[in-house]
A and B are shown apart, each in its own frame.
Chain A
Amino acid sequence: MAVTRGFTGRPRPERDPRLPPGQYDAGDDWPVLHVELVPDLPPEAWSFAVDGLVATPRTWTWDEAQALPRSTYSGAIHCVTTWSKLDMTWVGVSVDLLLEQAGGVRPGATHVLVHSHTGYTTNLPLADVTDGQAWLAFEVDGAPLEPIHGGPARLLVPHLYFWKSAKWVSRIEVLDHDQRGYWEDGGYHDRGDPWREQRYHGD
């Protein structure tokens, strides 16, 4: 990195160790960034599917998804645009459970392509959405997820940059190869680990 003449940046206080490099604490602010209009998704219009390389592809209605057992994530989220939010509490259905209900992944499965009701897509290694690391999230900090933040349900993969946590998620497609989604196709990283600052291809 070449030093930019005359640039010192904001005063940098003691860094919170929970903040990955290049991130700042947005505090009570929750910035909004998405590439489409907030869709109108009443319960009757909502559905969620797990398909591709699974034993028994399946779809859940809103009521069926609400009836699934839930678990909690407490901790931080990190957006590639450099804000992080600490101490959040999210409630949703573990992706492990959803895959299990679809009969489990078939041999050769390596990646997922996540789809949203708006047409947005994002790709992730299968290993990043299993083992208790990802949820179909319905609630945050004790309230239903607001539409502007992806409600009624978004994917939650808090250990990766937040564009992977697709808002208004509609489908997890299990694949035997990595297929780039919306931002990845536009230059953003295929994995997106904030601790390694994997923001763009080649990072």
Chain B
Amino acid sequence: MAPDRSPWFTGTVEAVHVETARAKTFTLRLPEPLGHRAGQHVVLRLTAPDGYSAARSYSVASPPTGEPTIDLTVERLEEGEVSTFLHDVAEPGDELELRGPIGTRFAWDPSDGPALLVGGGSGVVPVMSMLRLARAERRTDLVRLVAAARTPADLLYAAELPGPEVTIAYSRAAGPDGRPAGRLAADDLAPSVAPGQRTFICGSSGFCEAAGRLLVGLGVDAHTITVERFGPTT
């Protein structure tokens, strides 16, 4: 059996970066490097003065670097207990309790071989960590990333994401490449499918199931697909 993981530790908010109208990236300074694999997540716990606490999972957006900092990108959900606190209250200098890294199968590094990464909405976060790692290690030959967003204004990491290994599909706006507005379709995925790939899909439950069905329809073996669902419901 693996040794038990670390308990809770403190991350200090070092910087807050506005990604889109609904998403912010929080850079946290940790006591030591997290030691995560790209794709893994942490659990973040907030505690009220009366002892009440709320814990939620957040994917690490930054790749493993050996540095004692991580980036979390959080989408603000109306009425959300933790995401609204992070967006509306948290600021540099604040201390947040964390634990992790957590997750085994939703993790990748170049030694795992070719990977197809599919992210919808905030589901782009963990696959961005994988893409960043591939770029840092100059192994973009191994990855293809397909990102889905509502409009260009909703796309996370809009300045950094595009590249020859990346396809972007907007559901409610035409793309700069002339792609008409529409849900992710088989044609968006097909050019990125290659033999020997592992596939990682992340997003709302509905997005994951739809993207997975499309890939299975394109001949991808369901057993090579790993899914991480963010949303509480379909």
Contacts and interface: CB of A to CB of B under 8 A. Distances in A.
Given A7-B48, A82-B55, A35 B106 contact: yes
Contact of A201 (B4, B46, B96, B101): B4
A73 interface: no
Nearest to A179: B1
Contacts of A179: 1
A29 to B, nearest CB: 6
A3 B233 contact: no
Contact of B233 (A1, A7, A29, A201): A29
Contact of A37 (B101, B222, B233): B222
Given A4-B48, A37-B213, A201-B5, A31 B226 contact: no
Interface residues of B, number: 51
A37 B216 contact: yes
B94 interface: yes
Given A119-B223, A185-B2, A200-B99, A35 B43 contact: no
Contacts of B85: 4, 6-7
Interface in A1-30: 1-10, 12, 22, 29-30
Contact of A31 (B55, B105, B225, B232): B232
B43 A200 contact: yes
B32 interface: no
B188 interface: no
Given A34-B229, A182-B104, 19 more contacts: A1-B47, A3-B49, A4-B97, A7-B47, A9-B54, A9-B81, A12-B52, A29-B233, A35-B226, A37-B213, A37-B222, A81-B57, A119-B223, A179-B1, A180-B1, A186-B105, A187-B99, A187-B100, A188-B102
Contacts of A188: 102
A9 B232 contact: no
B95 to A, nearest CB: 7
Contact of B49 (A8, A39, A182, A200): A8
Contact of B4 (A7, A37, A202): A202
Contacts, number: 117
B233 A200 contact: no
Contacts of A127: none
B229 A202 contact: no
A178 B51 CA distance: 34
Interface residues on A, range: 35 or more
A31 B233 CA distance: 4
A90 interface: no
B171 interface: no
B212 interface: yes
Contacts of B213: 37
- Which 10 A-B pairs give the minimum distances between C-beta atoms? A186-B104, A37-B212, A187-B102, A201-B4, A6-B89, A4-B46, A7-B46, A1-B47, A31-B232, A32-B205
Contacts of B142: none
A2 B51 CA distance: 9
Interface string B65-105: 00000000000000001000100011000111101111111
B53 to A, nearest CB: 6
Interface in B99-115: 99-106
Contacts of A119: 223
Nearest to B95: A2
Contact of B227 (A3, A9, A34, A182): A34
A88 interface: no
B167 interface: no
Given A8-B48, A180-B2, A186-B102, A37 B225 contact: yes
A38 interface: yes
Contacts of A148: 209, 234
A7 B50 CA distance: 10
A168 interface: no
Given A34-B227, A36-B226, A186-B104, A1 B51 contact: yes
